[in-house]
Amino acid sequence: MTFNLRVLAAAGTFAALGLPALAETEIKIGYALAPDSHYGVAAAKFEEVLLAETGDQFSFKHFPSSGLGGEREVIEGLQLGTVEATIVSSGTLANFVGDTGVFDIPFLFRDLSHARAVLDGPIGQEILAKFDAVGLHGLAWGEQGFRHITNNRNAIETPADVEGLKIRTMENPVHLAAFNAMGAAPTPMAWPEVISSLQQGVIDGQENPLSVIVSVKLDEVQEYLTLSGHVYSPAMLLVSKPFWDGLNDEQKAAFEKAAAAGVEAMRGYVDNVETSGVETLKERGMKVNALSAEEKAKFQEAIASAYEGYYETYGKDLVDSIVNFE
């Protein structure tokens, strides 16, 4: 019997016993948040659609809640081919494809639909395609929502209120520059260390979208929530390039379809939590204030010096074309 016939015969026997066929390829998918978060919901939808499209060719093993380490480590695992897939924030993406950082510029996007249109349009897709050159394949842009500041020191209404605030930022130079310009004392830190650092008082605060604040229950370690919406937080569904290169065209099409469905589920989750999340957090005891348009403008003014750096790095034309994208 040839090797292929033996595999088919074995697969038939396994199916008769109700066991997965031998030929199944396991997809290890890692993400930083819980199964009931926007990442968990997207990963589950991605699995559901991929399995529906490809039958028993693949099986999934999920590693939620940073089960494979911080986002940078997981992305490195994809490059090495030891992990097949991940959903990550843009936190460390600029370390892999520098141009990605342009989407991390504060006050760049007007609202969610503006951001989604840019990411799904030519500017976003061109940057997504650059991941192939660094051992990764970007399947689709997802999102977390707009980031807001939480802390244990004081309510934040003006830039003076963040003066000296020990705030954790993602390991992202664009965010770091903005908080430095505001006069805060930012500390870049990988996500798995954040909760214990807040509990121990190593840092006063952090910033993340409602999707994260609600699903991680940050209200248990943070008193104040300021709806600053200072920056949009993109996410990405990535697969390992060595893994991607081993797929045939039909399988690749199934992955693309599944990724689109996963992102749709993620954005649906974000839409929902952006409207219901504030009430939930107030009920859980957080002291919440929203920045008015005038208050936000003061923060924009405070980071004007950081904008000079962003123009230098990414080009004013690109930044303007994102801002003016209809």
Other Cβ atoms less than 10 A from the Cβ of 145: the count is 25
32 belongs to the binding site for ligand PAF (CB under 6 A)? yes
Residue nearest to ligand PAF (CB): 89
The answer to whether the beta carbons of residues 60 and 222 sit under 8 Å apart is no
234 belongs to the binding site for ligand PAF (CB under 6 A)? no
Other Cβ atoms less than 10 A from the Cβ of 26: the count is 11
310 belongs to the binding site for ligand PAF (CB under 6 A)? no
Range 167-206, binding ligand PAF (CB under 6 A): 170, 191
Q: Minimal distance in Å, beta carbon 71 to ligand PAF? A: 6
222 belongs to the binding site for ligand PAF (CB under 6 A)? no
93 belongs to the binding site for ligand PAF (CB under 6 A)? no
Residues 144 and 238: their CA atoms lie apart, in Å, by 15
Contacts of 243 (CB under 8 A, 6+ apart): 78, 81, 84, 85
Among residues 84 and 104, whose Cβ is nearest to ligand PAF?
104
Print the binding letters for residues 56-85 with ligand PAF: x by CB under 6 A, - otherwise. Answer: ---------------x--------------
Range 140-169, binding ligand PAF (CB under 6 A): 144
Other Cβ atoms less than 10 A from the Cβ of 280: the count is 15
Q: Applying CB under 6 A, which part among 88-96, 100-108, 115-123, 224-232 lies near ligand PAF? A: 88-96
Of positions 89, 150, 215, 222, contacts ligand PAF by CB under 6 A: 89
Of positions 75, 212, 247, 259, contacts ligand PAF by CB under 6 A: 212
Rounded to 10°, the helix 304-314/173-182 angle is 160
CB crowding 57-90: b at 16 or more within 10 Å, else e: bbebebbbbbebbbbbebbbbbeeeebbbbbbbb
Q: Minimal distance in Å, beta carbon 181 to ligand PAF? A: 19
Report the 3 state secondary structure along 127-155.
HHHHHHHHCEEEEEEEEEEEEEEEECCCC
Burial of 248 (0-12, 13-18, 19+ CB in 10 A): exposed
Q: Minimal distance in Å, beta carbon 20 to ligand PAF? A: 30
Among residues 120 and 193, whose Cβ is nearest to ligand PAF?
193
* DSSP secondary structure code for residue 12 in this structure: H
Range 277-296, binding ligand PAF (CB under 6 A): none
List residues near ligand PAF by CB under 6 A: 32-33, 71, 88-89, 91, 144, 170, 191, 208, 212, 233
